[in-house]
Amino acid sequence: MGSDRFYIDSKERGSRARYWMFRQYEDAEKYLLLLISQMARPGRYTNSPAFRWSEEGLDPQVTLTTPDPVNCPGRVSLRVDQEPNDRGWMGESDALAASHILVLSFEELDLILREGIPKDWFTIDIRCN
């Protein structure tokens, strides 16, 4: 495993609102897809996969740890199926929904997130070279 880290920084009104770190590009890409799907459902959060996953709780294949509770309270690391390294960190309130995307393929996640969105509304085509 290299020292690659991929950050997503969300700002509202010029101030940082949320901040996430992923160790795998694919996980960051999937989380961005989740964020985009949430924006595509204004006023309908309770009908979204993210809401459903938050209500279901942590995916059974994922564990959370608090690596630095003194300096970063509320931040948790996510680890899948006893992998030797965590997949990244984020605020605990975001981790429940995120735990579900870590164990899905991009294609599975895309299919789930498009539920309830008209087919011709928009298309996401992310390519890596």
Answer yes or no: is 128 within a domain: no
Residue 123 domain flag:
no
**What pLDDT, on a 0 to 100 scale, did the predictor assign at position 122?**
63
pTM exceeds 0.95 for this model: no
Q: Is residue 42 part of a domain?
A: yes
Distance CA 119, CA 46 (A): 21
Structural domain contains residue 86: yes
**Stretch 94-112: mean pLDDT:** 96
Provide mean pLDDT across the span 70-93.
Answer: 93
Measured CA to CA, the distance from residue 30 to residue 80 in angstroms comes to 15
Q: Write out pLDDT tens, residues 11-48.
A: 767 766 678 999 999 999 999 999 988 887 777 778 88
Q: Which pLDDT tens digit goes with each residue over 57-80?
A: 999 999 999 988 898 888 999 999
Rounded to an integer, what is the distance from CA 2 to the centroid of its chain? 21
Report CA-CA distances (Å) from 123 to 2, 28, 37, 108: 32, 19, 11, 15
Structure tokens at 42: 């204004």
* Contact criterion met (CB below 8 Å) for 87 and 102: yes
Domain span at residue 78 reads 6-113
**Cα 87 from chain centroid (whole Å):** 11
- Does the residue 124 lie in any domain? no
Tell me the mean pLDDT in the region 83-92.
Answer: 94
Domain for residue 20, yes or no? yes
At residue 116, the pLDDT reads: 76
Average per-residue pLDDT for the chain: 87
Q: Is residue 121 part of a domain?
A: no
Given this model, what pLDDT does residue 124 score?
64
- DSSP alpha helix (H) spans, the chain: 25-39, 49-56, 92-102, 106-113
Q: How confident is the model at residue 2 (pLDDT cuts 50, 70, 90)?
A: low
Letter for the amino acid at 123? T
**What whole-number distance in Å separates Cα of residue 113 and Cα of residue 124?**
11
Instruction: Identify whether the C-beta of residue 46 lies closer than 8 Å to the C-beta of residue 28.
Output: no
- The structural domain count of the chain equals 1
